[in-house]
Structure 1
Amino acid sequence: MYVSYKWLQDYVDLTGVSPDELAEKITKSGIEVEGVETLNEGISGVVVGYVLEREKHPDADKLNKCQVDIGAGEPVQIICGAPNVDKGQKVAVATVGAVLPGNFKIKKAKLRGEVSNGMICSLQELGFESKLVAKEYSEGIYVFPEDTEIGTNALDQLFRDDQVLELGLTPNRADCQSMLGVAYEVGAILGREVKLPQTEVKTGTEKAADYIKVTVDAKEDNPLYVAKVIKNVTIKPSPLWMQARLTAAGIRPHNNVVDITNYILIEYGQPLHAFDYDRLGSKEIVVRRAADGEEMLTLDNAKRKLTADHLVITNGQVPVALAGVMGGANSEVQANTTTVLLESAYFTGGTIRKSSKDHGLRSEASSRYEKGVDPHRARPAAERAAQLLAEYAGGEVLEGSVEADHLSVEPAVVSVDINKINRLLGTELSVQQAADILNRLQFSTSVDGGELTVTVPTRRGDITIEEDLIEEVGRLYGYDNLATTLPIGSSTPGHLSDYQKKRRMVRGFLEGAGLYQAVTYSLTSEEKSLQFAMEARTPIKLAMPMSEERSILRLSIIPHLLEVLKYNAARQNDSLAIYETGSVFLSTDEGDLPEEKEHLSAAVTGLWETHPWQGEKKPVDFFVLKGILEGLFSKLGILDSIEFRKLEKEGMHPGRTAEVLLAGISIGFVGQIHPKVEKELDLKETYVFELSLKAILAEEVAPLKYEAIPRYPSITRDIALVVDKTTTAGELSTIIKDAGGKLLKDVNVFDLYEGDRMEPGKKSIAFSLKYFDPERTLTDEDIVKAHDKVLDAVKEKAGAVLRG
């Protein structure tokens, strides 16, 4: 909500309170003021000038040479390129030495050989937002009314000598979406009286009831509908002061009739709508729900298809407005309108919200109806608008209003005990002090002993229980005045669970290894939903997806990480390592909520290391990612329980993919993306892994034990085993570890040979085995005994023989 400081002074005496001081007081009372803007800040030297002569520039088709009287003696010559500049206009002139927004200084210049002593300005050049400039002046200079005095300050004539406070309203404070609502708030903060507008409307002899009949079929959606008729109006621009106030509030001026309805919208918070009575098509208004498939053309020239969920204003036959949201093009006020039918109604918020959301129309009116307007302001707002239409549009207001009244809204009555107020706020207020605070808010308050009974005006629909009243007392008493106290009672310091600590450890390790954390969508497309899934479940489709690309809950994180790599590769960032910890969603029995599991996934592509000075480049490969995982498992203390086993999985390279097992149970996989998939995504060799994070972090780990550095030497034996090509090094390593006993401490692969000297279907894998005993020096006999067990085991279980 944008609040004009000068406009606010119409209702509350702000003497002695600057805009910045007022902003601070409002913020301290509970409504945040996000900023204070001075409309004419940094602008000087702009006056009203009169164009005496205009002729085409001799050397430029799009420039005009103007002689302008700026009220300082001799006329000055100004070169102007605005298409609408003409003789006899009163315009805004930035004189030589003037400063415009952006610290733009005006100097004497020559344009195509002709001297220019200043600049004739458009409103945009004077700091107006383009979207707030009236259409007739959106392209070109602004023209003042004929009675504007030459030589006066142009910004003062435009009422830009003002400050605007931007209130950051929460949804419960819908009452402050109007100037009167803000006035009540400021009056209570400053302890000053609130002056309401006086509405005295002179009416003609004719009666409104002779011109219009109002019927409301949807009584629950529209409990109150008020219609007034104003004849003989003249459509013209609204007065400058009104245009300035609307602009300050963020609304573009149109004409006097539309501007007056918008002015009342901001002043009272009550949306109004003006129909061209002669274009209405009948002498009745019928408010009803639309028929399914019914259509109407709204003011933005868009055809809207309606349903029975939408409330419409009709002429008895066809819709003339989408209630509370936007009027229809068939009854729009135009330049030749002479009779206006004025609508002031109370619509329920849910109905208006539905229409606004379905049609993507978010208007000033709909936003107020959605949050709730004061039902008792509909009538005074209509009278105030009729008064302004008579004054500024020359209209004749017909006697009376035509109403459909089914409204039954009573002010809320809430009681609260002073002891509870003091207990919750930590204060020692007397019952009279609390009553005085509530009376400042214009709440009717009675006191009975220590109990306050408050009748809350309907404009404050957010106050329904005693805690709401306590909040009002507290914020107006002043949060700064509340005593500082410590909490009473026992409390437990917050801490991370073991799972959270380990998850942080995982993230820290991966980031230390050079991977960046990614956060991707939990939603994917149907096409990608089953890709790389660790568990095959039926995908879960959203009931109301925003798009087909985000319509299914994901079963794997990898497709999203590949999207990130593709996005970066398209922007020449083709060496990237990323990871994500996030949830996947697995379907359960029909009707039950999905099972949510946290996974850890990573994707790496391009160069893992590059040293241009040394001419070294190391592309990422399977063992880079496997090594990162082994380092992570070692950090978590579970490496000894981990096993890698060859795996064939759709979408993955058949020879470079391994299943990861923890204590013999599969927890995920690691490997290269299939070359076909890489080609589709336009990626280089890309390696990924996805693991069940819950399984990893939930694994019981024995307490960390420290051992003394061995005093006795270790002994290493190397063996080269000839096995079938289908036998993996991992299988052999497991057999060797199981057979080696307590003396075998370390097993490493250091060579693989598949050359010409090897018989077909065979390969040679070389292992380095380290033996030692921390208590004694091993003898040859000890080593031979343990080593023979290893050789027997690999021969028996894997058919391996020592390479000669």
Structure 2
Amino acid sequence: MKVSLNWLKVYIDLEDITVEQIVDKLTFAGLEIEEVIDQAKIYENIVVGYVKEKKKHPNADKLSLCIVNDGSRDYSVVCGAPNVAEGQKVPLAKIGAVIPSNGLKIEKVKLRGEVSEGMICSEKELEISDNHEGIMALDSSLEPGTPFSKVMNLDDVVLDIAITPNRADALSHIGIARDLAALFDKKLKLPEIKLDETGEESAKYASVEIIDPENCPRYVAKVVLNVEVKESPDWLKKRIESIGLRPINNVVDVTNFVLYEVGQPLHAFDLDKLAGKKIVVKKAHEGEKFVTLDSKERILSEADLMICDAERPVAIAGVMGGENSEVTPETKNILIESAFFNPSSVRKTAKRLGLQTDASYRFERGADYNIAVWAARRAAQLIAMTAGGNACKSEIDAYPKPFPTKNVELRYERIKRILGYDVDKETVKKIFINLGFGLSESAESLKLEVPSYRHDIEREIDLIEEVARIYGYDKIPEVEKISVTLEEKVDQSESNDTVRNLLNALGFYEILTNSLLREELAKEYGNPLGVLNPQSAEMSHLRPSLIPGMLQAISNNIKVNEKNLQLFEIGKVFEKINDVINSFEDFRESEHLILGLTGNAIEDEWYEKERKFDFYDLKGFTAAFLNKFLPGAEFDVKRLDSDKFEYGMEILLDGQVIALGGKLKDDLLKPFEIEQDVYASVFYLDKIKSIQRGAPEFKELLKFPKVYRDFAFVLDKEIEAGEVIKVIRNASSNLLHHIKLFDIFQSESLGMDKKSLAFRLEYYDKSRTLTEEEVDKEFRRAIKAVEEKFNAKLRGS
């Protein structure tokens, strides 16, 4: 949420407090500042300039050579705008300034042979408007040298704050100001409502009926008559523009202003468009259609709460109003809605419709049911001020069953026991007074009345957390001694850290993808487990595979022209075993690792040509990882026929499959708009981690020579090289240390169903030099074993 510092200063005195102090205090209090936008820095080195002289550029017909003064010295500026004139006050970007619209840094340059020491700017270049037909002319009364940000009231600082779901009270300027009041021990200043109410009461012009009080416990309506809907005054436009909102008209802008001021969503209806001048709060009919303010038709469910008039729906409660009752320039009479809706009801409707608004965002987290009347009166005050309307007396307050006041006791000794340090009793009292809590005290405790905007305060431990965050985590005293146990503990993350380190060393980058998929996609990879209350149709099922997430990440990268990728992810996958889920035995949860390769393995350079990743790159990375993670283990690699891989492999250890991979089929890539080959390996980490890992051993450098022997066999083309290697190894002694397949050859001269496999065998002994006789004996034994097992023929014999 964006918060304007100038706006905050309306509610709390911050003159003696720096932006850095505010950022630090709020962050340590649990309101993390994600970005600080200082408008003064955006317009740094841009000042009011006075055009003392203008003459034609000697070397260019369309350029002017101007002398511009900034109050202290003259600058020579080359300008191409047709409307620049002697005697004007203009925005002058001096050397070092950065133009907001394009990031151009102003430097001293020569343009067509003439020195230019700055730039006279247009409104578009300064992001004031879209006008770029000429330079921006300023008020002639302005003093040269005055900062442009000050002239345009663009000296605000905007804080982008990450609000946690439990802190709905902080979703407004007053909410943030309240926390600052507690953090800096300042007084919170709430706006005074001076409302000149005239004529009859609101109840004469409208009525409210709540048919579903469970989902709408309170509905406040206030009528304002004879308004003039028009453009908002500058002060109101600047307030809402400062936080990134677009001004619409004075009535709508007021409702947005109050929303961001106090956190209460409001809606303004054209009273004359409400049939029967009546508001009815009830459930929608199944399949009912409704057009919202964004001009989209929505299909409603009987679970959706609607705001209706005497004949039809006019708004989706807590989410968005309808086109049939919106405020237009012809509107004369307004009904202001200020209600409290059940957070669960709003959340389900907003998620089902895929429609999140500023209002639903707040109602989902729990608005303040006690602020409804104040907010309606505040909006009526501002509408009367900006639209010239007459606010009717009192409000219609439909509140059939008021919420009870919540009281929680806080024991002083409990604070010390939980936090481990003393907090002065007066400090504790002051914290809660500044936060708006009512209190009564005894010698041992405080009885606190929890304000209605703090839904998150339920128990004593919640109050202690408030003390800790406001008092300051930085004030926790240092402890000179701390007791620790020497008992050995298992680090559950150690294995995954090892995996990450190994893959980082192999050049892979880690990704984290969503564990939720849409149903159709999830079903392509297994029997997925559905979510009871999905956030959207796109996130309705738990993933049965890591492949879709990998493909989405690859697709996203390709779209920003990152086409050469080595990626990996460690994550949980879920698969349904039984159709009805009654216990953990009805579904399977397991941990997988996926590697993904796509694009070029080698870029095109002057010394070598580019080469794309292929199956053997994937196989090499897969083997390298397993050999490092499970040193000394003997793996079997077999060909894999799969509906996911165009050609693939599966890797076995002691008879069980621990990984599989290959080139992904094009049908899997099409939904992600991937048009280049993708290779992937999936590892069953649960199985791999269960295998006893041997400790790495130091191997002394070999002191004696190795002996190599090569041979090639012609055999049936269906026979896999791995089977041949296994036979060679079984027929050999421990003098054979390595077998390498270095050539595969197929030709009509060998036979249509034949192929040639060539191997290199490596022999040595760590303690002595081998003789030719013993190596030849080993070699002949290997040849004989292959010939007998596969009916193979030794080539060259």
TM range (shorter): 0.7 to 0.9
Report if the CA contact (8 A) 1:33-1:165 is conserved.
Answer: yes
**1:132-177 superposed Cα distances (whole Å, 9 cap, x missing partner):** xxxxx99999999xxx998799987975565545444333332233
Unaligned runs of 5+ in 1: 48-58, 61-77, 83-92, 106-117, 131-136
Amino acid of the structure 2 residue aligned with 1:95: V
Query: What is the aligned partner in structure 1 of residue 726 from structure 2?
Result: 734
Query: What is the aligned partner in structure 2 of residue 114 from structure 1?
Result: none
Report if the CA contact (8 A) 1:280-1:315 is conserved.
Answer: yes
**1:667-711 superposed Cα distances (whole Å, 9 cap, x missing partner):** 455667789999998657x87655545444543455666677788
Shift in CA distance, 280/472, structure 1 to aligned 2, threshold 3 Å: same
Amino acid of the structure 2 residue aligned with 1:318: R
Q: Secondary structure at the match of 2:286?
A: coil
Q: Which moved more, 1:451-460 or 1:779-788?
A: 779-788
**1:52-98 superposed Cα distances (whole Å, 9 cap, x missing partner):** xxxxxxx99xxxxxxxxxxxxxxxxx99999xxxxxxxxxx853758
In 2, the alpha carbon distance for the partners of 1:277 and 1:675 equals 58
Shift in CA distance, 275/580, structure 1 to aligned 2, threshold 3 Å: closer
User: Offset of 1:217 from its aligned partner?
Assistant: 0.8
In 2, the alpha carbon distance for the partners of 1:676 and 1:695 equals 29
Query: What is the aligned partner in structure 2 of residue 540 from structure 1?
Result: 528
Asked if residue 102 in structure 1 is aligned to residue 95 in structure 2, the reply is no
Query: What is the aligned partner in structure 2 of residue 185 from structure 1?
Result: 179
Q: Which moved more, 1:447-456 or 1:246-255?
A: 246-255
Query: What is the aligned partner in structure 2 of residue 642 from structure 1?
Result: 635
In 2, the alpha carbon distance for the partners of 1:676 and 1:6 equals 55
In 2, the alpha carbon distance for the partners of 1:678 and 1:287 equals 48
In 2, the alpha carbon distance for the partners of 1:653 and 1:701 equals 32
Query: What is the aligned partner in structure 1 of residue 268 from structure 2?
Result: 274
Amino acid of the structure 1 residue aligned with 2:313: P
Written as runs of structure 1 = structure 2, the 5 A alignment for 1:683-694 is 690-694=682-686
Shift in CA distance, 725/284, structure 1 to aligned 2, threshold 3 Å: closer
Query: What is the aligned partner in structure 1 of residue 221 from structure 2?
Result: 227
In 2, the alpha carbon distance for the partners of 1:291 and 1:390 equals 37
**1:371-425 superposed Cα distances (whole Å, 9 cap, x missing partner):** 2222222223333333444444443333333332214223321111111112333
In 1, the alpha carbon distance for the partners of 2:351 and 2:476 equals 42
User: Offset of 1:367 from its aligned partner?
Assistant: 2.7
Asked if residue 261 in structure 1 is aligned to residue 255 in structure 2, the reply is yes
In 1, the alpha carbon distance for the partners of 2:125 and 2:773 equals 98
Query: What is the aligned partner in structure 2 of residue 663 from structure 1?
Result: 654
Asked if residue 454 in structure 1 is aligned to residue 448 in structure 2, the reply is yes
Report if the CA contact (8 A) 1:539-1:552 is conserved.
Answer: no
Q: Which moved more, 1:224-233 or 1:411-420?
A: 224-233
Q: Secondary structure at the match of 1:341?
A: strand
Q: Secondary structure at the match of 2:252?
A: helix
Q: Which moved more, 1:283-292 or 1:504-513?
A: 504-513
- Which of 480, 485, 490 is the equivalent residue of 2:485? 490
Shift in CA distance, 529/231, structure 1 to aligned 2, threshold 3 Å: closer
Query: What is the aligned partner in structure 1 of residue 203 from structure 2?
Result: 209
In 1, the alpha carbon distance for the partners of 2:760 and 2:239 equals 86
In 1, the alpha carbon distance for the partners of 2:121 and 2:747 equals 88
- Which of 314, 318, 329 is the equivalent residue of 2:308? 314
Shift in CA distance, 411/121, structure 1 to aligned 2, threshold 3 Å: farther
Amino acid of the structure 2 residue aligned with 1:734: K
Query: What is the aligned partner in structure 2 of residue 52 from structure 1?
Result: none
**1:699-740 superposed Cα distances (whole Å, 9 cap, x missing partner):** 345566667778888777776766556555544443343233
In 1, the alpha carbon distance for the partners of 2:576 and 2:446 equals 55
User: Offset of 1:46 from its aligned partner?
Assistant: 6.3
Shift in CA distance, 129/430, structure 1 to aligned 2, threshold 3 Å: farther
TM-score under structure 1 length normalisation:
0.73
**1:293-314 superposed Cα distances (whole Å, 9 cap, x missing partner):** 3333333333333222222222
**1:219-271 superposed Cα distances (whole Å, 9 cap, x missing partner):** 12222222233333333444433333333344433444333333333333333
Q: Secondary structure at the match of 1:434?
A: helix
Report if the CA contact (8 A) 1:637-1:701 is conserved.
Answer: yes
In 2, the alpha carbon distance for the partners of 1:222 and 1:484 equals 50
Asked if residue 333 in structure 1 is aligned to residue 322 in structure 2, the reply is no
Q: Secondary structure at the match of 2:276?
A: coil
User: Offset of 1:774 from its aligned partner?
Assistant: 6.2
Asked if residue 31 in structure 1 is aligned to residue 39 in structure 2, the reply is no
Query: What is the aligned partner in structure 2 of residue 73 from structure 1?
Result: none
In 1, the alpha carbon distance for the partners of 2:121 and 2:669 equals 61
In 2, the alpha carbon distance for the partners of 1:260 and 1:379 equals 16
Report if the CA contact (8 A) 1:545-1:551 is conserved.
Answer: no
In 2, the alpha carbon distance for the partners of 1:336 and 1:582 equals 57
User: Offset of 1:282 from its aligned partner?
Assistant: 1.5
**1:295-343 superposed Cα distances (whole Å, 9 cap, x missing partner):** 3333333333322222222221112222233333333333333333333
Q: Which moved more, 1:9-18 or 1:606-615?
A: 606-615
Shift in CA distance, 128/731, structure 1 to aligned 2, threshold 3 Å: same
User: Offset of 1:800 from its aligned partner?
Assistant: 5.2
Written as runs of structure 1 = structure 2, the 5 A alignment for 1:530-679 is 538-540=526-528, 542=530, 553-555=543-545, 557=547, 585-590=574-579, 591=581, 592=585, 594-599=587-592, 631-632=624-625, 634-636=627-629, 641-645=634-638, 660-668=651-659
In 2, the alpha carbon distance for the partners of 1:647 and 1:663 equals 17
TM-score under structure 2 length normalisation:
0.74
Query: What is the aligned partner in structure 2 of residue 54 from structure 1?
Result: none
Report if the CA contact (8 A) 2:290-2:299 is conserved.
Answer: yes
Q: Which moved more, 1:292-301 or 1:793-802?
A: 793-802
In 1, the alpha carbon distance for the partners of 2:527 and 2:178 equals 55
Report if the CA contact (8 A) 1:272-1:343 is conserved.
Answer: yes
In 2, the alpha carbon distance for the partners of 1:672 and 1:282 equals 67
User: Offset of 1:369 from its aligned partner?
Assistant: 2.2
In 2, the alpha carbon distance for the partners of 1:223 and 1:434 equals 34
Report if the CA contact (8 A) 1:216-1:404 is conserved.
Answer: yes
In 2, the alpha carbon distance for the partners of 1:490 and 1:345 equals 55
User: Offset of 1:596 from its aligned partner?
Assistant: 4.0
Cα RMSD for the two superposed structures: 5.4
**1:154-205 superposed Cα distances (whole Å, 9 cap, x missing partner):** 9879755655454443333322333443443333334344343333444435
Query: What is the aligned partner in structure 1 of residue 433 from structure 2?
Result: 439
User: Offset of 1:792 from its aligned partner?
Assistant: 5.9
Shift in CA distance, 139/335, structure 1 to aligned 2, threshold 3 Å: farther
Q: Secondary structure at the match of 1:228?
A: strand
Q: Secondary structure at the match of 1:233?
A: coil
Query: What is the aligned partner in structure 2 of residue 66 from structure 1?
Result: none
**1:512-537 superposed Cα distances (whole Å, 9 cap, x missing partner):** 55666666676789998799x8xxxx
Asked if residue 291 in structure 1 is aligned to residue 291 in structure 2, the reply is no
Report if the CA contact (8 A) 1:80-1:120 is conserved.
Answer: no
In 2, the alpha carbon distance for the partners of 1:427 and 1:772 equals 69
Shift in CA distance, 45/327, structure 1 to aligned 2, threshold 3 Å: same
User: Offset of 1:290 from its aligned partner?
Assistant: 1.8
- Which of 677, 691, 702 is the equivalent residue of 1:699? 691
Amino acid of the structure 1 residue aligned with 2:527: P
User: Offset of 1:650 from its aligned partner?
Assistant: 5.7
In 2, the alpha carbon distance for the partners of 1:529 and 1:80 equals 59
Report if the CA contact (8 A) 2:99-2:125 is conserved.
Answer: no
In 2, the alpha carbon distance for the partners of 1:583 and 1:683 equals 27
Q: Secondary structure at the match of 2:220?
A: strand
In 2, the alpha carbon distance for the partners of 1:314 and 1:289 equals 9
The structure whose Rg is larger is 1
Q: Secondary structure at the match of 1:210?
A: helix
In 2, the alpha carbon distance for the partners of 1:611 and 1:395 equals 71
